[in-house]
Amino acid sequence: MVMFKIARVETTPIDGQKPGTSGLRKKVKVFKQPHYLQNFVQATFNALGADKVRGATLVVSGDGRYYSKDAIQIIIKMAAANGVRSIWVGQNGLLSTPAVSAVIRERVAADGSKANGAFILTASHNPGGPTEDFGIKYNMENGGPAPEGITDKIYTNTTTIKEYLIAEGLPDVDISAIGLTSFAGPEGQFDVDVFDSASDYVKLMKSIFDFQSIQKLLSSPKFTVCYDALHGVAGAYAKRIFVEELGAQESSLINCVPKEDFGGGHPDPNLTYAKELVARMGLGKTNEQDPPEFGAAADGDADRNMILGKRQVVFFFFFFNVDVSTAVFTYEFNSNFRFFVTPSDSVAIIAANAVQAIPYFASGLKGVARSMPTSAALDVVAKNLNLKFFEVPTGWKFFGNLMDAGMCSVCGEESFGTGSDHIREKDGIWAVLAWLSILAYKNKDNLGGKKLVSVEDIVRQHWATYGRHYYTRYDYENVDAGAAKELMSHLVKLQSSLSEVNNIIKGIRSDVSKVVHGDEFEYKDPVDGSISKHQGIRYLFEDGSRLIFRLSGTGSEGATIRLYIEQYEKDPSKIGRDSQDALAPLVEVALKLSKMQEFTGRSAPTVIT
């Protein structure tokens, strides 16, 4: 057995190692600075405390982005030196964020041991490659992201760190081959266990969903799918689940080979960045094939999802546009041929159908939760079904306590995150399986029929029952950080006089309702009583509309301002409008009230969702 020694390396604090909404995300070149990663990892071990680290089993893996392989070797050596007993690594260092959570909760090693936590190496939906982003976060024994108490401690430790420990004489471990390698350290044996990235996760999915009924749906020639992993880690699961287990065609998968740089793309599953999927869904008949009935995409670490359906054609629309230029016609044609399910609607629809369609929830939901900027579609479902309901700040970590306390089964966020208490992370593939389950349930007696119940039918039926929350998000990416702060202070200052706010609004648009409440969202965790302040600026209107302004906590450069705009419509005759049209008055108010252009110099957002 190879032996190693423990080296103590002197270091000094490095600025800017404060974890954001979900871990530390920076450019690769920042992470590659001497001691940068090492300082953060040691700060994490110190924050956890020796009693939690010595003898522990930790998972180390991620979405496979550039620099992951180097980072894994560094963390293995530091873990060995800090007294960790075993490190588990997904083959090739690949594990999706939800799979890490599943592995922590479910996997039992040959000697009966379980994992105590994990380092997840990902910058999620941010691009990857030598000039792009890398990231690291720590997840706890429950499988969920470290709570603020721990991330604050990690940050404080990074500001005072003087040394880190690293194993000397421990060679790089071959993480491409499954198997156990043992080493001998001054305090005993240290193991590195490389295991199959998908099997624990696939097993968990099979215990939640009725794979047979989904298989039946997918075997219908009328039901075609397209899944786009955007070259993220979801590709490591997609073939196993959708093709091998559920029988989808291999041609249903696009961009499903994980790549260190995500093929040069932006692995963010939205209508702007999931271009190939959107094009497939948007085009008419190609090569004798109709566009797929169902489309979905994942982000780099496979915790986010986007759900699309085939749009039912409105022929008069095309006749109306046929006279205008080809360019306009093509644009309208493409953008209107796919049906986009907003993430806020998605979680509400999953919650409304979970008990009937998903065996895991057959005995009922313990409660539901959403993040504050997510639309109130879920609130209406909770009210109608008499379910416990929670509104938490942005960040999946806030759902964990509710789930651990048995208060919440299904939750979701507007930022393309949907999930349940099967793990403690949002789960992109779970969301796709949830939608396929709902489609399978709605079509169970209909597979031989003329037309299947589509994604669009399900959403429209939901709106007819519960009302529709028109919703859009404007992102201003990489804005000057000082300017973003000034804009936020301006919005907070305005809230000191709502009558003044309403006068301003009246001057902008007379057809917008009145602001009745303005604040900065603050959350008291009902389980541990902890308080999180400054979680987004809210303007709440008399008719239920909301304007929310927030600074993103996941960017790696400058600031990203997010503006969330929502309006509720109960009248069934008014639920079918184009959402950008319906929201235009509120958008105008939001942009002028916030003086967006004045503060940021931007005349348009980077991304509209």
Return the closest-CA partner of residue 59 out of 25, 32, 84.
84
* Position closest to ligand G16 via CB: 552
DSSP 420-451: ETTSSS--HHHHHHHHHHHHHHHTTTTTTSSS
Give yes or no for residue 98 binding ligand G16 (CB under 6 A). Answer: no
Of 177-185, 297-305, 430-438, 500-508: span binding ligand G16 (CB under 6 A): 297-305
Please list the residues that pair with 339 across neighbouring strands: 309
Give yes or no for residue 303 binding ligand G16 (CB under 6 A). Answer: yes
The least CB distance from residue 26 to ligand G16, in Å, is: 14
- Among the listed residues 17, 21, 157, 420, the single contact to ligand G16 using CB under 6 A: 21
- Among the listed residues 395, 400, 412, 467, the single contact to ligand G16 using CB under 6 A: 395
- Among the listed residues 242, 396, 541, 599, the single contact to ligand G16 using CB under 6 A: 396
Span 343-372, contacts to ligand G16 by CB under 6 A: 371
Say if residues 62 and 301 touch (Cβ distance below 8 Å).
yes
CA quadruple 475, 480, 481, 487: dihedral sign: negative
Which of 124, 157 has the CB closer to ligand G16? 124
Which of 338, 473 has the CB closer to ligand G16? 473
Of 222-230, 393-401, 403-411, 477-485: span binding ligand G16 (CB under 6 A): 393-401
Which of 166, 271 has the CB closer to ligand G16? 271
Say if residues 373 and 564 touch (Cβ distance below 8 Å).
yes
**Which one of the listed residues 124, 252, 454, 594 is annotated catalytic?**
124
Q: What is the DSSP letter of 416?
A: T
Give yes or no for residue 139 binding ligand G16 (CB under 6 A). Answer: no
Helices (H), 49-186: 50-53, 68-81, 97-106, 148-158
- Among the listed residues 17, 22, 344, 353, the single contact to ligand G16 using CB under 6 A: 22
Please list the residues that pair with 549 across neighbouring strands: 537, 563
**CA dist., res. 289 & res. 353, Å (int):** 31
Angle in degrees, CA 169, 171, 177, rounded to 5? 160
Which of 246, 296 has the CB closer to ligand G16? 296
Q: Please tell me whether residue 539 adopts helix, strand or coil conformation.
A: strand
The least CB distance from residue 100 to ligand G16, in Å, is: 12
Give yes or no for residue 266 binding ligand G16 (CB under 6 A). Answer: no
The least CB distance from residue 220 to ligand G16, in Å, is: 33
Give yes or no for residue 375 binding ligand G16 (CB under 6 A). Answer: no
- Indicate if 603 belongs to the active site: no
Pairing label, strands 225-228, 253-254:
parallel
Please list the residues that pair with 540 across neighbouring strands: 517, 546
Which of 170, 487 has the CB closer to ligand G16? 487
C-alpha distance from residue 434 to each of 31, 341, 372, 381, 440 (Å): 37, 13, 23, 17, 10
The least CB distance from residue 355 to ligand G16, in Å, is: 25
Please list the residues that pair with 101 across neighbouring strands: none
**CA dist., res. 48 & res. 247, Å (int):** 44
Question: Site for ligand G16 (CB under 6 A): how many residues?
Answer: 18
Give yes or no for residue 394 binding ligand G16 (CB under 6 A). Answer: yes
Fill in the per-residue mask, 403 to 432: x = in contact with ligand G16 (CB under 6 A), - = not in contact.
Answer: ----------x-x-x---------------
**CA dist., res. 183 & res. 221, Å (int):** 54
The least CB distance from residue 425 to ligand G16, in Å, is: 8
Q: Tell me which residues are annotated as active site.
A: 124
Binding site for ligand G16 (CB under 6 A): 21-22, 124-125, 299, 303-304, 371, 394-396, 413, 415, 417, 552-554, 562
